[in-house]
């Protein structure tokens, strides 16, 4: 259901991205993590952010749009979950995988939930991940008309298992306990 209402549905091989031209950002990204890949060596060096040439120029976003915006370039698909190979890692540095995320949310609670997804993927051998990016009806915007998300949702699914989180894009919540953000997965999945 989350991949029906996209301006552009992109299969990036490592993940599927539902991109929205009005928000100039993603609404949903899904991928699968495998323990055997996560247990491999990881690339330490981070590549540069790149514009996504699959997106028409007028709806594209750029690294410099974020300068002095008060927001960080928040990965939706985490670099750390995809950095076993250069190709997979590079796919997470496309600007279509980036949204304006508050600095402390990005560095603290969201980072912790991303670590949780890798832990669960290793524990369950594999894990399906669905990230939803939620926007207000009239979202605030940074440069180049990029909409600022109001919430991030992460849905983690394995065999006979699911765990879901919903985190506001607001630094006041950055140091809250992870369990505070737990949601009933039935809200998001059948």
Inside any domain, residue 2: no
* Of 114, 137, 132, 151, residue with least CA distance to 189: 132
Inside any domain, residue 95: yes
- Split into its structural domains, the chain has a count of 1
Quote the tokens at residue 104: 């402390």
Any binding-site annotation on 83? no
9-54 pLDDT tens trace: 999 999 999 999 999 999 999 999 999 999 998 898 999 999 999 9
What does pTM read for this prediction? 0.96
Q: What is the mean pLDDT of residues 122-132?
A: 98
137-158 pLDDT tens trace: 999 999 999 999 999 999 999 9
Which helix (H) or strand (E) segment is 164 a member of?
strand 161-168
Inside any domain, residue 164: yes
Inside any domain, residue 1: no
Query: pLDDT value at position 28?
Result: 98
> pLDDT class for 180, splitting at 50, 70, 90?
very high
Active site residue 75: yes
Enclosing domain of residue 160: 8-187
* Of 31, 157, 135, residue with least CA distance to 88: 31
Inside any domain, residue 128: yes
| DSSP-based helix, strand, coil % in the chain, nearest 5 | 30, 30, 40
Inside any domain, residue 45: yes
| Cα of 96 vs its chain's centroid, Å | 10
Inside any domain, residue 130: yes
Query: pLDDT value at position 15?
Result: 98
Q: Are 167 and 177 in contact (CB under 8 A)?
A: no
Choice among 75, 102, 154, 157 that is catalytic: 75
In CATH, what number is assigned to the domain containing residue 33? 3.40.570.10
Q: Are 114 and 184 in contact (CB under 8 A)?
A: no
Query: pLDDT value at position 1?
Result: 80
């Amino acid at each position: 259901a989350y991949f029906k209402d996209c301006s552009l549905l992109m299969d990036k091989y490592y993940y599927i991205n539902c991109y929205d031209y009005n928000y100039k950002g993603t609404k949903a990204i899904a991928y699968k993590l495998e323990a055997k890949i996560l247990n491999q060596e990881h690339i330490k060096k981070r590549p540069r952010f790149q514009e996504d040439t699959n997106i028409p120029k007028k709806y594209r976003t750029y690294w410099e749009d974020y300068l002095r915006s008060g927001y960080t370039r928040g990965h939706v698909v985490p670099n750390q979950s995809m950095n076993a190979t250069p190709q997979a890692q590079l796919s997470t540095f496309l600007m279509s995988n980036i949204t304006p995320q508050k600095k402390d949310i990005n560095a603290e609670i969201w980072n912790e939930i991303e670590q949780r997804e890798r832990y669960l993927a290793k524990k369950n051998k594999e894990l399906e991940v669905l990230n939803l990016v939620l926007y207000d009806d009239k979202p605030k915007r940074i440069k180049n008309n990029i909409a600022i998300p109001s919430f991030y949702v992460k849905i983690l699914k394995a065999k006979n298992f699911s765990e879901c989180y919903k985190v506001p894009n607001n630094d006041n919540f950055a140091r809250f306990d992870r369990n505070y953000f737990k949601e009933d997965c039935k809200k998001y999945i059948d």
